[in-house]
Amino acid sequence: MDTNGSLNGNVPAGPLAEKWDNHRFNMKLVNPANRRRYKIIVVGSGLAGGGAAATLGELGYNVDCFCYQDSPRRAHSIAAQGGINAAKNYQNDGDSTYRLFYDTIKGGDFRSRESNVYRLAQVSANIIDQCVAMGVPFAREYGGQLANRSFGGAQVSRTFYARGQTGQQLLLGVYAALSRQVAAGTVKMHSRTEMLEIVLVDGQAKGVITRNLVTGEIEKHAADVVIMATGGYGPVFYLSTNAMGNNVTASIRAYMKGAYFANPCYTQIHPTCIPVSGDHQSKLTLMSESLRNDGRIWVPTKEGDPRGPAEIPEDERDYYLERMYPSFGNLAPRDIASRAAKRACDEGRGVGDTGLGVYLDFTDAIKRLSLPVVQQRYGNLFDMYEKITGENAYEVPMRIYPAIHYTMGGLWVDYNLMSNIPGLFVLGESNFSDHGANRLGASALMQGLADGYFVAPYTVGNYLASQTPGDYSADSSEFTQAADDVKDRIKRVLSIDGKRTVTSFHRELGLICWDYCGMARTDQSLTKALDLIPALKEEFWENVSVPGGGDELNPELEKALRVADFLEFAELMCYDALVRKESCGGHFREEYQTQEGEALRDDEHFSHVSAWEAPRNGGRPVLHKENLEFEEVEFSVRSYK
Amino acid sequence: MDLTLRVWRQKDGQSTGTLETYQISGIIPDMSFLEMLDVTNERLIEEGKDPIAFDHDCREGICGACSLVINGRAHGGFSGTTTCQLHMRKFNDGDTITVEPWRATAFPVLKDLVVDRTSFDRIIQAGGFISANTGGAPDGNAVPIPKPDADAAMDAAACIGCGACAASCPNGSAMLFVAAKVSHLAHLPQGMPERGQRVLSMVAKMDEEGFGNCTNHAECEAMCPKDISISHIAKMNREFIRATVRGE
Ligand SMILES: Cc1cc2nc3c(=O)[nH]c(=O)nc-3n(C[C@H](O)[C@H](O)[C@H](O)COP(=O)(O)OP(=O)(O)OC[C@H]3O[C@@H](n4cnc5c(N)ncnc54)[C@H](O)[C@@H]3O)c2cc1C
Ligand code: SF4
Ligand code: FES
């Protein structure tokens, strides 16, 4: 492993609380009359990409926005259920910008950049105002004020929500703003279009190569700046709570062209998902974390207890979270709750046919609150559970198990959200920036909108102010070369004509990642993964079977290209996990734990961002470290006891 | 479970399609309908045949991508259920299941079960928004919104834009979809300034896109996986009349 000198996050000087205001003042502006002469590419139409495209359009730039779905309204932000955080302190319960900042740093296990997190907390309040102005129907109290709840282990009520469909409503707000700009002619929307390559000219990002998913046409798009907001890479594990189309393609393509990939091993496992029911399973469904506000999690005290939940008496149940973390109980953070569930199942105390499940029981909540109250709070979730499992959770406890949910890792960006490639900005879940080694509930929606609405529009403008507009051409040799590379890749994958389906490779890769780089990782397991993945990759390129052609609507081809990129990426993820010899947040190395089985950080050696550069000629990726300096907060051991 | 599938196969928008029959065995009741199609596709690929193309993404009933007419009913016709949330335990061993794409003039077929729904995007572009640029918004609590209004707005805003309403309407009308958006914004104070222009533009666009008229069949409401009520259509009609009378 090569290690280079410390990466510079370009964090502005000055006191933490004033950095963003000062920086905004110091940034260069583009004259309004000049803005339409600049062309901006935005890949992604979720909260981050859609928000940025709409806002940049409003400012008068000339924007091209891309998504692989048939409509920008279907980006996976749509699926977020629980809510969005903001430091409004409407409840007068002691919340503040500083507290949200502090909670996020601590929740991220001291592995995020202080200045970014502070800015996130600062702009959080503006997000709520903006969404209300755009017609997002947040839940209200009888007096007409916005309602809040406490979420994901926070001790204040700062989460805003729209029933169980917060992400949907926020995304529909973004989609409305985007649609308005499409009508105004500032944004051109390219749906069913997948980015397959990024194009650099003289080291600067100047465009992308895309495939029209209906006709198969390979298109060249050039611009003054490229913004990627392509979401998370959860499906590297095959099964996850992500959409079927979530991918790492855009990021890994940029990585291969020199962008650094930061902290790929930081993946979040969500404790409350519906357990796997069989080999046919294509995705896992999240049951909102809000259920943990009233449900109680337990397993039998006895190993392999064959009795149904109703027959197990109270004193033979282990409410393990309440036992181990008395002050947070069932609301312990995601990584802690997930590992505790795994431990219970590893001890043979798991429930359900597979033994990979724990109970989430509402019997006491129904007694305490009454059935109608529980129905009102969680009715839609209970309905969803029944649709999937065929069981009525008002009568029998739900069964839940952890699943891959969110990826904190992503392309490395500086304070301006620009990658190390000039002119390539990365927003939302696809960057690495704000959540450190673990993301708190209801903070991803906040980050997506912060990046898209309130950060990128300033910092991208600042970059453009230093560029001559229109200094690009899609006819240049760089574009021709990149387009040819894409065509070759497609031709190659179609011509293999092997024996195994794309999905069979994807499933196998997912299992390797889950078994050896999942909830608990060891030197041995990661070394094993690093043996298995290259072999699988080799087999893929010799034995995959992709039916149909390249110049038609061909979902198998789309999948094949994504799985090929997951195969590239999985190795990087496992390698990062191997090299990070500590446990922090979602990254749990069994070798590094306290006597009570809690994550043991090594601040002396690992208080840095690991930003990986693609190997130039085979071999291992090159590590660049960004040292994390904490001026404002002091390291402490995350304790939720 | 052993099933007989009759699936609409169509090479592309220019070709004509037909229903093809497939025998499929070993389906288990816990599979979702789309997982059943996944299994079918895996087998087709292994037999060297072209798999069935269909739209899907979230597979949890919220993105609105999935879109099949199953045994003549959009999303299978089970209350509050999208195709991706439909499980095979709702079917019986030995069943014959017919699977077709959305049928509506304004949703042309692209391939097999995949249709083009960009007409919905264009209707929203015609006015399904509040013109509030980013920045400078007043405090979120500056204008209290009575809970019943916020709830009514949310009921309408729950639409996932799947198109089942238009696909199941005998006239191919998109009224429920359009009404859901008009009603969502008309229930909120922020939506008031543009309310007249909004409804007029969206309805005009809907007609232009080739969606039919509403003649109160209420099939849309019956097939809507999000239980959007046709009372929103009444609300939209009132909005429309109000705007027309005021000459907006
Ligand atoms: C089930 C679920 C529930 C969640 N609940 C919450 C919650 O309650 N609170 C919270 O804060 N967070 C939640 N999250 C996390 C949060 O929803 C996401 O992190 C966030 O919405 C990501 O937004 P994004 O804009 O970065 O990406 P996305 O919304 O995923 O958008 C990605 C966009 O990129 C496009 N794209 C991707 N690749 C390509 C390509 N190669 N070419 C072209 N386009 C491409 C896609 O089409 C899409 O438009 C949840 C996540 C899941 C999965
Ligand atoms: S109104 Fe119902 S059926 Fe129509 S698009 Fe919306 S969710 Fe789908
Ligand atoms: S796949 Fe998203 S609603 Fe069915």
pLDDT tens across A177-189, in order?
999 999 999 999 9
Residues B74, B157, single domain; the answer is no
Question: Minimal Cα distance from B84: which residue of A?
Answer: A388
Instruction: List, in order of start, the domains of chain A with CATH numbers.
Output: 270-405 (3.90.700.10), 493-627 (1.20.58.100)
* Residue A419, CA distances (Å) to A66, A485, A628 in order: 19, 23, 17
pLDDT class of A288 with cuts at 50, 70, 90: confident
Q: Are residues B128 and B230 in the same domain?
A: yes
Q: Are residues B51 and B123 in the same domain?
A: no
Closest residue by Cα to residue B153 from A126, A381, A165: A165
Residue B233 sits in the same domain as residue B151 = yes
Whether residue B126 sits in one domain with residue B70: no
A188-to-A48, A115, A180 alpha-carbon distances in Å: 17, 34, 11
Q: Which residues of chain B have pLDDT under 70?
A: none
Q: Do residue B96 and residue B32 come from a single domain?
A: yes
pLDDT band at residue A155 using 50, 70 and 90 as cut-offs: confident
Cα A503 to averaged position of ligand 3 atoms, centre (Å): 19
Q: How many domains does the structure of chain B reveal?
A: 2
Q: Could you tell me the CATH number of the domain that includes residue B35?
A: 3.10.20.30
HSE, CB side, 13 Å, CA atoms: give it for residue A310.
4
> What does the DSSP 8-state code read for residue A411?
E
Give the residue-averaged pLDDT of A593-608. 92
- Judge if B82 and B140 occupy the same domain: no
Q: What is the structure's pLDDT at A1? A: 47
pLDDT value of position A154:
82
Ligand 3 atom closest to the Cα of residue B63 is 2
Alpha-carbon span A247 to A236, nearest angstrom: 8
Domain limit, last residue, from B67, B95, B111: B111
Which single residue is written with the structure tokens 């806002």? A55
pLDDT band at A332 (very low <50, low <70, confident <90, very high): confident
Per-residue pLDDT at B216: 93
Interface probe for A, chosen from B12, B27, B133 (most Cβ of A below 10 Å), is B133
If we measure between CA atoms, which residue out of A363, A237, A355, A389 comes closest to residue A294?
A: A363
pLDDT of residue A2: 46
Mark which of B52, B81, B111 sits at the end of a domain: B111
Secondary structure of residue A215 in the 3-state scheme: coil
The whole-angstrom separation of Cα A583 and Cα A606 is: 10
| pLDDT reading at A612 higher than 50 | yes
Residue A511: is its pLDDT beyond 90?
yes
Q: What is the pLDDT of residue A510?
A: 97
Q: Residue A3's pLDDT band (boundaries 50, 70, 90)?
A: low
Counting ligand 3 atoms within 8 A of each CB, the residue from B33, B35, B58 with the most, and so the one to mutate, is B58
Q: What's the pLDDT score for residue A5?
A: 61
Q: Which residue among A132, A182, A547 places its CB closest to the CB of B137?
A: A132
Domain stops at, among B77, B93, B111 = B111
Say yes or no for a CB contact (<8 Å) between A282 and B38: yes
Contact A610, A622 (CB under 8 A): no
Residue A616 has pLDDT above 90, yes or no: no
User: What is the average per-residue pLDDT within A283-308?
Assistant: 93
Instruction: Write out pLDDT tens, residues B225-234.
Output: 999 999 999 9
How confident is the model at residue A333, as a pLDDT? 81
User: Alpha-carbon dihedral of residues A371, A375, A378, A383, nearest 10 degrees?
Assistant: 120
pLDDT tens, A542-581?
Answer: 999 999 999 999 999 999 999 999 999 999 999 999 999 9
Together in a domain, B175 and B106: no
- Residue A639: its pLDDT value, please? 73
In three-state secondary structure terms, A637 is coil
Task: For residue A4, name the pLDDT band (cuts at 50, 70, 90).
Answer: low
Q: Rounded CA gap, A426 and A452, in Å?
A: 10
Judge if B52 and B82 occupy the same domain. yes
Distance of alpha carbon A454 from alpha carbon A434, whole angstroms: 15
Rounded to 5°, angle at Cα B84 from B81 and B86: 50
Residue A23: strand, helix, or coil:
helix
Structural domain boundaries enclosing B81: 3-111
- Alpha-carbon span B120 to B106, nearest angstrom: 9
Percent over 90 (pLDDT), chain B: 99
Q: Which pLDDT does position A234 carry in this prediction?
A: 98
Residues of chain B in contact with residue A137, where contact means CB-CB under 8 angstroms, are: 150, 153-154, 157, 184, 187-188
Same domain for B197 and B166:
yes
B157 and B175 in a single domain? The answer is yes
pLDDT value at residue A137: 98
CATH number for the domain spanning B222: value is 1.10.1060.10
Q: With a CB-CB cutoff of 8 Å, which residues 15-74 of chain B face chain A? A: 28-32, 34-35, 38-39, 41-42, 45-46, 48-51, 53, 55-65
Closest Cα in chain B to A161: B154
Chain A contact present for B124, CB below 8 A: yes
Going by C-alpha positions, the residue among A624, A614, A616 that lies closest to residue A414 is A624
Task: Fill in the DSSP letter of residue B196.
Answer: H
CA distance A407 to A404: 8
Same domain, B11 and B129: no
pTM: 0.97
Q: What percent of chain A has pLDDT over 90?
A: 90
B65 CB near ligand 3 (under 6 Å): yes
Contact across the interface for A384 and B64, Cβ inside 8 Å? no
Let me know if A334 is a catalytic residue.
Answer: yes
Gap from CA of B85 to ligand 3 centroid (Å): 8
Q: What is the predicted ipTM?
A: 0.98
